Amino acid sequence: MLKVILTNGNEDLILDFKLRNTDIANKWFTELSKNYPLYETDRFSNWGSHDFVKQLNNQINIINAYQPIIDKQVSEFSTQQELNYLHKFFEDLRGDIIKGTDWYNSAPAHIQEAVCRFNILIHQLESSIRTGNTHPTLVVTFSNTLRLNLSEKDMREFTYKWKQNTVYINYCQNGKTVLDVFKDNDTMAEAIRPQIYYSADFMIKFGPSTHWLIYLIRSVIIKIWLLRKRFPFKNLNIGMIPVADLVTSVDKSTLLKFNKVKSVVCLK
């Protein structure tokens, strides 16, 4: 059993999740049970209460004060292509999550943090543009986590047929997944990296489940797109891996009153 405790400063909300009976769900839960320190506790998307435009421009200003590199800011009218353009700056500045670029490795800690926040906020703004407040999501990340290899069997669990109130293993690499490149119609991304690792980090999708007909149509479109792209990857790993499902009954209006993760508790 997994408990995610949300708070708004005045009251708490306890959400209970039941672990799925799969090998990867159990391996992920083992990592989560190591009680890594919480890192991101306020990464709520489509929650209706965050000014991602202002926050993103703030990070751009911080980076440019150190070195004027990013030549564009965002507005409430920014397009997906403009956000794709900005994301390319993150790829070039940050580099590989383990090695990093010379620029990133030599930058002060607050600049490194601004670069990472810059990336996160781009994705949050993209999600907000695509779905508004109809598909609220929450990402929880931890400090100093291990990145472990997904097995071939684990990779068969990837799906983009989303289920409401389900926990998915979060992307723990730098770059863009194949699905994100497809959704964003991103012709500029160079760091396309299918997910091949897992960590304790996770995402909860609170939005509605994918309708079977929408899933069927999307699958056909993606297959045609993939034939054109001819990506050179053995495993495309399109989507995310589900690992747990909500068992607590909570309505959306109640859920959206909370804006911070207070704690994550693993019970055997």
In SS3 terms, the chain reads as CEEEEEECCCCEEEEEEEECCCHHHHHHHHHHCCCCCEEEEEEEECCCCCCHHHHHHHHHHHHHHHCCCCCCCCCCCCCHHHHHHHHHHHHHHHCCCCCCCHHHHHCCHHHHHHHHHHHHHHHHHHHHHHHCCCCCEEEEEECCCCCEECCHHHHCCCECCCCCCEEEECCCCCCECHHHHHHHCCCCCCCECCCCEECCCEEEECCCCCCHHHHHHHHHHHHHHHHHHCCCCCCCCCCECEEEEECCCCCHHHHCCCCEEEEEEECC
- Predicted confidence at residue 119, as pLDDT, reads 87
Among 66, 99, 131, the domain-final residue is: 131
In a domain, 224, yes or no: yes
In a domain, 92, yes or no: yes
Q: Are 244 and 155 within one domain?
A: yes
pLDDT tens string 19-39: 999 999 999 999 999 999 999
Q: What is the span of the domain harbouring residue 53?
A: 49-131
Q: Are 195 and 259 within one domain?
A: yes
**Mean pLDDT for the stretch of residues 242-246:** 98
Q: Are 162 and 226 within one domain?
A: yes
- Mean pLDDT, all residues of the chain: 91
Q: Are 205 and 261 within one domain?
A: yes
- Predicted confidence at residue 259, as pLDDT, reads 87
**Taking the model in full, what pTM does it have?**
0.81
In a domain, 139, yes or no: no
Q: Are 119 and 55 within one domain?
A: yes
